[in-house]
Amino acid sequence: MGAGKSTIGKLLALQLGLPFADTDKVLEDRTGADIPWIFDVEGEAGFRRRESEVLEDLCRGPVQVIATGGGIVLAEQNRRQLKKHGLVVYLQASADQLLERTAKNSNRPLLRVADPRARIIELLEQRDPLYREVADLICDTDDCTPKQAALMVAERLVSD
């Protein structure tokens, strides 16, 4: 959350001349409901099930840049999908940077807690090893703009 997946993904897709998809947006379009509502009604488990279905569908589609929800790596089946069907870029950011980027966004169900910083640290500790497991490329987004990050990823993809 807050690493820049959607913003950087759109910019990267433009640079590479590829279509762009965001799993959260696709899920919202399919259900007609926003992510916080899905969390409220179906819980995180229901959201994660729907998220996995979206990822599977997108992986069967044309070559494209896909921005996933931050927790998509929690499910082993999703990690397998990501490794099998694409080149995975892990947009890494520090807890302080993530807190700053998400502080004004109330559309983050997992951060509706008394101590968002502690929650971000908890999520990082849980997810970082999983991202590293599937990542083909790791890009630190702390000290760069989304445009700089997208350019850095594009250059590294082209050079590899």
Residues annotated within the binding site are: 2-7, 24, 48, 70, 108, 127
Task: Confirm if 23 and 66 have CB atoms less than 8 A apart.
Answer: yes
Sequence-ordered list of residues with C-beta below 8 angstroms from that of 43, at least 6 positions apart, any chain: none
DSSP character string of 39-63:
HHHHHHHHHHHHHHHHHHHHHHSSS
Tell me the two tokens of residue 92.
Answer: 């890494």
Write out the binding residues for substrate: 24, 48, 70, 127
Tell me the two tokens of residue 55.
Answer: 């990822």
Tell me the two tokens of residue 62.
Answer: 């044309």
Task: Confirm if 141 and 149 have CB atoms less than 8 A apart.
Answer: yes
Write out the binding residues for ATP: 2-7, 108
The whole-angstrom distance between residue 58's C-alpha and the CA centroid of its chain comes to 14
